[in-house]
């Protein structure tokens, strides 16, 4: 594709995306296709001769679009949001256009320095501890962040032995609440500890937040059995109900036993951009690492997980390997960051560009307005649920996730969800709270307005 052909087709693609956003509301939120429908509509073999971009755009409309679930739809209330926005899409396009691979500072100095700088901006915007300053990196996802935190924790707990001897250099244990995202168990499996190394901390049934006294009991039993507590993961905003663990109390116990404290704030963390919800940050000065996803609720296209460490030594100790072909003067002088040592892959995209574009386009006040709109809508939605005696709220809802159920029971609650989702006008998902089915109503699309939340409540209550 020549630059001129790129220009011509690129304009059409940008128009296509702009049209998509203009007409987003007309689509059914959930894709109606059946398993195998999309593959059946695709040619069995790749083309022998190149095709024009017309053919690609035609098949995008005719074959691909029916199989799209519209995450950016204003009535997408499922899971947690995966925000996209104009500046992030354009920033991502620029990153693709530049096509740089920023594994080392030297392989594109701006890719590294912009990333460090933008994460310092974000640290400041979120009111995170000073110790994170200069110690931020973009991971693909919160799951990668949890894995990397575990590897750093194992490095520290083993005195650097895990790098040579593996996880069998000790009997390491990991602690997190029953409500924590499955990413932590996956990290234990990937790191070779196995799920048996993971201890689940009980939660308070009313708040769904971890009980510090149970963490202490679990750790004491392990220490008595000659295990080494390596990592405690606290959640700021659990996946099921958005519960916020008591980070300070968990952190104090973690410190007593010299374990690593990682905070998984994948969804909720970005809300701390609003000073009125800075209580989310209580105790973070005790954290060794912290992650939150601008790709969930801060207008930055997937993927973009912001991860910080208070002290980078253990992270680098766990992950840095220096083969001859990656040696270079700038790195060895210690004057620069080489992000290849801060995550699992070697190569990396210039993901900071889209986050930079988002922060510059919206400014701090625009980002705060984005969060505040959703929090206010969720509070209003929760008040409607509370006022209807057929329903009950099942957990606190200080941000933009509301969990609730029908008093009639699990079957009725599940049937309600299936019925409204089948209608195609909205999409919400479920969870289990204290062993009972509950519906999750997560507001977070930049396109969502009050009328969409009203329409959703009208459908649910009808």
Ligand X SMILES: Cc1ncc(COP(=O)(O)O)c(C=O)c1O
How near is the Cβ of 234 to ligand X at its closest, in Å? 11
| Cα–Cα distances in angstroms (integers) from residue 284 to residues 108, 129, 247, 251, 289, in the given order | 32, 7, 7, 8, 9
CA distance 127 to 239: 23
Q: For residue 365, count other CB atoms closer than 10 A to its CB.
A: 9
Write out the two tokens for 23.
């007409």
Write out the two tokens for 29.
């939120």
| Cα–Cα distances in angstroms (integers) from residue 31 to residues 28, 37, 66, 414, in the given order | 7, 11, 6, 19
E strands present in 216-255: 228-235
C-beta closer to ligand X: residue 183 or 399: 183
CA distance 262 to 251: 9
C-beta closer to ligand X: residue 296 or 312: 296
How near is the Cβ of 308 to ligand X at its closest, in Å? 15
How near is the Cβ of 341 to ligand X at its closest, in Å? 21
CA distance 324 to 251: 40
Write out the two tokens for 168.
């069998």
How near is the Cβ of 142 to ligand X at its closest, in Å? 4
How near is the Cβ of 344 to ligand X at its closest, in Å? 13
Q: What is the dihedral of CA 293, 296, 300, 305, to 10 degrees?
A: 20
How near is the Cβ of 78 to ligand X at its closest, in Å? 11
CA distance 100 to 57: 27
Element (H, E) at 271: none
Q: Which residues contact 402 (CB under 8 A, 6 or more apart)?
A: 378, 381, 382, 385, 393, 440, 441
How near is the Cβ of 8 to ligand X at its closest, in Å? 36
Write out the two tokens for 210.
């971890």
C-beta closer to ligand X: residue 266 or 287: 266
C-beta closer to ligand X: residue 28 or 292: 292
How near is the Cβ of 291 to ligand X at its closest, in Å? 8
C-beta closer to ligand X: residue 143 or 301: 143
C-beta closer to ligand X: residue 108 or 431: 431
C-beta closer to ligand X: residue 82 or 337: 82
C-beta closer to ligand X: residue 267 or 381: 267
The DSSP symbol for 293 reads -
C-beta closer to ligand X: residue 238 or 400: 238
Contact between 301 and 84 under an 8 Å Cβ cutoff? The reply is yes
CA distance 12 to 35: 31
How near is the Cβ of 421 to ligand X at its closest, in Å? 19
Q: DSSP string covering 62-113, please?
A: IIIGGG---TTSTTB-SSS-----HHHHHHHHHHHHHT---SSGGG-HHHHH
Residues binding ligand X (CB under 6 A): 80, 141-143, 181, 183, 235, 237-239, 264, 266-267, 293, 305
């Amino acid at each position: 594709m020549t630059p001129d052909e790129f220009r011509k087709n690129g304009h059409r693609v940008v128009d296509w995306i702009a049209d998509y956003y203009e007409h987003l509301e007309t689509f059914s939120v959930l894709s109606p296709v059946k398993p195998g429908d999309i593959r059946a509509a695709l040619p069995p073999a790749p083309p022998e001769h190149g095709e024009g971009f017309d053919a690609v755009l035609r098949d995008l409309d005719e074959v691909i679009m029916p199989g799209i679930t519209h995450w950016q739809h204003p009535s997408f209330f499922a899971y947690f949001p995966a925000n996209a926005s104009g500046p992030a899409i354009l920033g991502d396009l620029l990153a693709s256009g530049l096509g740089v691979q920023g594994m080392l500072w030297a392989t594109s100095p701006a890719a590294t320095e912009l990333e460090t700088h933008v994460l310092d901006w974000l640290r400041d915007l979120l009111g995170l501890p000073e110790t994170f300053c200069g110690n931020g990196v973009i991971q693909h996802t919160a799951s990668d962040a949890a894995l990397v935190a575990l590897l750093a924790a194992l490095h520290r707990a083993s005195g650097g032995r895990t790098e040579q001897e593996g996880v069998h250099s000790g009997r390491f244990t990991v602690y997190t609440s029953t409500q924590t995202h499955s990413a932590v168990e996956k990290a234990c499996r990937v790191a070779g500890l196995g799920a048996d190394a993971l201890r689940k901390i009980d939660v308070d049934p009313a708040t769904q937040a971890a009980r510090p006294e149970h963490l202490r009991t679990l750790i004491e039993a392990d220490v008595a059995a000659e295990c080494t507590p390596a990592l405690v993961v606290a959640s700021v905003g659990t996946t099921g109900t958005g519960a916020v663990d008591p980070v300070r109390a968990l952190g104090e116990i973690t410190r007593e036993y010299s374990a690593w404290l990682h905070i998984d704030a994948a969804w909720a963390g970005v809300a701390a951009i609003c000073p009125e919800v800075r209580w989310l940050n209580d105790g973070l000065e005790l954290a060794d690492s912290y992650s939150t996803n601008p790709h969930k609720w801060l207008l930055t296209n997937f993927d973009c997980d912001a991860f910080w460490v208070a002290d980078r030594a253990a992270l680098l100790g766990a992950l840095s390997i220096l083969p001859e072909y990656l040696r270079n003067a700038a790195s060895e002088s210690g004057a620069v960051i080489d992000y290849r040592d801060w995550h699992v892959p070697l190569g990396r995209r210039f993901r900071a560009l889209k986050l930079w574009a988002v922060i510059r386009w919206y400014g701090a006040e625009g980002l705060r307005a984005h969060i505040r709109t959703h929090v206010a809508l969720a509070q209003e939605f929760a008040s409607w649920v509370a006022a209807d005696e057929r329903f009950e709220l099942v957990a606190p809802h200080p941000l933009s996730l509301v969990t609730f159920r029908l008093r009639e029971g699990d079957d009725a609650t599940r049937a309600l969800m299936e019925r409204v989702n089948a209608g195609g006008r909205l999409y919400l998902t479920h969870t289990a709270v204290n062993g009972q089915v509950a519906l999750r109503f997560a507001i977070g699309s930049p396109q969502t307005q009050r009328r969409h939340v009203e329409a959703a409540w009208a459908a649910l209550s009808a």
